[in-house]
């Protein structure tokens, strides 16, 4: 036990706790600090610098000063820095996973899976850095020529959430580095340590000072707004709630900033009567329980053909009820705590509302006594149309199940939301698979699989889930401008 504790202390101690500005680690100018809590115990792990506006402006100054030089850096060198960072992240995955679990709560195995996912963006974009190309075209008349070139957008502002503290960072940083952009990034105040560790790794991998600047702050709104309104910034990429995203878009409109928004979700999980039910239960476990349901891609509601709805609910309940809750650092733990007391209270309120409107609790439905923000994995059956959790993002381990009687009805329910990030579909009928995939109003579809996240694929949503794509060949386009040169020979 003593060894375990000292290893936890070691991984926390190893992380720089200061702001990273212009290649230097420094305290906040006013000397403030902000505590980082372990959500499984409620205890403070350590303190990190608490930036004020002046610190954030200094970070943007550094990004702006470095932009021209970094933008003309050899693409191969940019790629090699990312590749080295990929190797380092992979080699240190055990320590980084423990660090993430300490600040965020998810079981270590899940944190490790996130490190692998996060590292893949570094590898993928290390390969994309040398594939940035324009085109040369003889125009319609045969007289002139069309030449296009791709250039870095310029200094970027990034804001990331606490639920995937490392991957939401590398998904923005890696394509920006590959494209030749500089940046200021602000992680969520609950989980700054993973980002600070990543900055240390990128520094060690040879990223020149000023390319990546990290600001940690307790007052995110007042610290970031002046940067978003600063005419020297060229791009804002935000991952977080739709509510905050909307506010940031308003601020970004002042300088007509290029914007990418990765916002909230309310993913439907459709199971047709011809589906392989074993596979559907397995996929449902992934889509629901990854990150304790605190994922924008989490299946928020299960729409199941009425003929198999009860069987699905009881089989899912059996699997969910057998999961072991506990501190993410303990052996065998499969479900960690939620991020904080507010989040747990919101989950409990949504369950209470659904049960009050007639839903049947098949398993779970309680917040266990004791420390930490735990909530039992819960399956609710016969959920009525008016239940709030069909409309609102649950962000917790709760699976509402509702029957449908036809393909049209399933599609109607799936699209009956302002969100449009991802939908999951289980069917063995190929024609239906394509029909439904085409009809769904989402940016992504998981067909007979409960997970879509993949470094090689374009991640992103439609409707209130945002716009822009991260990952895949599309991911780097977010950081490139196309310049057209009209040529007369």
Which positions are annotated as active-site residues?
A: 262, 296
161 binds ligand NAP (CB under 6 A): yes
239 binds ligand NAP (CB under 6 A): yes
- The 55-94 contact track toward ligand NAP, x by CB under 6 A, reads ----------------------------------------
- The 416-455 contact track toward ligand NAP, x by CB under 6 A, reads -----x----------------------------------
What residue has token string 């036990």?
1
Q: Which stretch binds ligand NAP (CB under 6 A): 86-94, 161-169, 273-281, 477-485?
A: 161-169
Residues near 353 by Cβ (< 8 Å), separated by ≥ 6?
A: 387, 388, 389
- The 188-207 contact track toward ligand NAP, x by CB under 6 A, reads xx------------------
Q: How far is the CB of 372 from ligand NAP (least distance, A)?
A: 19
User: Which among 209, 202, 215, 248 is positioned nearest to 229, based on CA atoms?
Assistant: 248
Q: How far is the CB of 328 from ligand NAP (least distance, A)?
A: 18
Cβ(440)–Cβ(289) under 8 Å? no
Angle CA(283)–CA(287)–CA(293) in degrees, nearest 5?
Answer: 145
Closest CB to ligand NAP among residues 161, 472 = 161
| 240 φ, ψ (degrees, to nearest 5) | 170, -155
- The 295-334 contact track toward ligand NAP, x by CB under 6 A, reads -x--------------------------------------
Question: 36 forms bridges with which residues in the sheet?
Answer: 46
Closest CB to ligand NAP among residues 157, 317 = 157
Cβ(132)–Cβ(179) under 8 Å? yes
Structure tokens given for 66: 């470095």
- The 345-384 contact track toward ligand NAP, x by CB under 6 A, reads ----------------------------------------
Closest CB to ligand NAP among residues 58, 215 = 215
97 binds ligand NAP (CB under 6 A): no
How many CA atoms lie within 13 Å of 120's alpha carbon, on the beta-carbon side?
A: 17
Q: What is the gyration radius of the CA atoms in the chain, in angstroms?
A: 23
The CA–CA distances, whole Å, from 330 to 113, 159, 246, 252, 369 equal: 17, 31, 39, 43, 18
User: What is the per-residue burial (b if ≥16 Cβ within 10 Å, else e) of 384-418?
Assistant: eeebebbbbbbbbbbbbbbbbeebeebbebbbebe
Q: Which helix H or strand E contains 268, and what residues bound it?
A: strand 267-271
DSSP string, 287-342: HHHGGGG-STTSEEEEEEEHHHHHHHHHHHHHHHHTPPBS-TTSTT--B---SSHH
Q: How far is the CB of 437 from ligand NAP (least distance, A)?
A: 19
- Which residue of the chain is nearest ligand NAP when measured via CB? 240
Structure tokens given for 263: 């916002």
Q: Which stretch binds ligand NAP (CB under 6 A): 9-17, 155-163, 281-289, 356-364?
A: 155-163
Binder to ligand NAP among 162, 272, 302, 375 (CB under 6 A)?
A: 162
User: Which among 227, 200, 221 is positioned nearest to 63, based on CA atoms?
Assistant: 227
Q: Which stretch binds ligand NAP (CB under 6 A): 111-119, 199-207, 238-246, 365-373?
A: 238-246
Q: How far is the CB of 116 from ligand NAP (least distance, A)?
A: 17
Q: How far apart are CA 276 and CA 300, in angstroms?
A: 20
Q: How far is the CB of 238 from ligand NAP (least distance, A)?
A: 7
How many residues of this chain bind ligand NAP (CB under 6 A)?
28
50 binds ligand NAP (CB under 6 A): no
Q: How far is the CB of 158 from ligand NAP (least distance, A)?
A: 9
Closest CB to ligand NAP among residues 128, 393 = 393
| 391 φ, ψ (degrees, to nearest 5) | -100, -30
User: Which among 119, 87, 93, 80 is positioned nearest to 208, based on CA atoms?
Assistant: 80
- The 240-279 contact track toward ligand NAP, x by CB under 6 A, reads xx--x--xx-------------xxxx--------------
Q: How far is the CB of 10 from ligand NAP (least distance, A)?
A: 26
Q: How far is the CB of 464 from ligand NAP (least distance, A)?
A: 10
The CA–CA distances, whole Å, from 434 to 119, 226, 303, 437 equal: 32, 46, 18, 5
Q: How far is the CB of 488 from ligand NAP (least distance, A)?
A: 45
Closest CB to ligand NAP among residues 174, 281 = 174
468 binds ligand NAP (CB under 6 A): no
Angle CA(444)–CA(446)–CA(451) in degrees, nearest 5?
Answer: 105
Residues that bind ligand NAP (CB under 6 A): 159-164, 168, 186, 188-189, 220-221, 224, 239-241, 244, 247-248, 262-265, 296, 393, 421, 461, 465
């Amino acid at each position: 036990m003593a060894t375990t504790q000292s290893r936890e202390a070691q991984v926390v101690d190893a992380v720089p706790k200061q702001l990273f500005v212009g290649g230097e680690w420094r305290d906040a100018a006013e000397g403030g600090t902000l505590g980082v809590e372990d959500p499984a115990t409620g205890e403070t792990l350590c303190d990190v610098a608490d930036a004020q506006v002046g610190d954030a402006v200094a970070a943007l100054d550094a990004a702006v000063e470095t932009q021209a030089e970094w933008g003309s850096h050899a693409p191969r060198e940019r790629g090699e820095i990312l590749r080295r960072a990929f190797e380092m992240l992979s080699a240190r995955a055990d320590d980084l996973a423990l660090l993430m679990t300490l600040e965020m709560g998810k079981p270590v195995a899940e944190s490790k899976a996130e490190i692998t996912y996060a590292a893949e963006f570094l590898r993928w974009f290390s390969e994309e850095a040398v594939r940035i190309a324009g085109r040369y075209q003889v125009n319609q008349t045969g007289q002139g020529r069309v030449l296009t070139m791709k250039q870095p957008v310029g200094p970027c502002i990034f804001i990331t959430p606490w639920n995937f503290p490392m991957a939401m960072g590398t998904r923005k940083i890696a394509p920006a580095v590959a494209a030749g952009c500089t940046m200021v990034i602000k992680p969520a105040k609950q989980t700054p340590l993973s980002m600070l560790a990543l900055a240390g790794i990128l520094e060690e991998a040879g990223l020149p000072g000023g390319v990546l600047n990290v600001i940690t702050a307790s007052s995110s709104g007042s610290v970031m707004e002046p940067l978003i309104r600063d005419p020297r910034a060229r791009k804002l990429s935000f991952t977080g709630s739709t509510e905050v995203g909307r506010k940031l878009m308003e601020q970004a409109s002042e300088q007509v900033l290029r914007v990418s928004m990765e916002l909230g979700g309310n993913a439907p999980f459709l199971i047709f009567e011809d589906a392989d039910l074993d596979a559907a239960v397995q996929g449902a476990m992934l889509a629901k329980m990854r990150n304790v349901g605190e994922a924008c891609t989490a299946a928020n509601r299960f729409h199941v053909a009425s003929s198999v709805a009860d069987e699905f609910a009881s089989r899912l309940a059996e699997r969910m009820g057998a999961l072991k809750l506990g501190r993410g650092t303990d052996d065998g733990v499969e479900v960690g705590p939620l991020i904080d007391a507010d989040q747990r209270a919101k989950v409990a309120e949504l369950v209470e509302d659904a049960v009050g409107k007639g839903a049947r609790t098949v398993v779970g439905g309680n917040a266990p006594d004791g420390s930490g923000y735990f909530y039992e994995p819960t399956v609710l059956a016969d959920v009525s149309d008016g239940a709030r959790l069909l409309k609102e993002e649950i962000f917790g381990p709760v699976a509402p199940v509702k029957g449908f009687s036809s393909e049209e009805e399933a599609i109607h329910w799936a699209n009956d939301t302002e969100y449009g990030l991802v939908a999951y579909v289980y069917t063995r009928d190929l024609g239906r698979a394509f029909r439904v995939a085409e009809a769904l109003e989402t940016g992504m579809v998981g067909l007979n699989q409960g997970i879509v996240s993949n470094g090689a694929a374009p991640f992103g949503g439609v409707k209130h889930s945002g716009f822009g794509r991260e990952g895949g060949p599309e991911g780097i386009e977010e950081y490139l401008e196309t310049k057209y040169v009209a040529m007369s020979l």
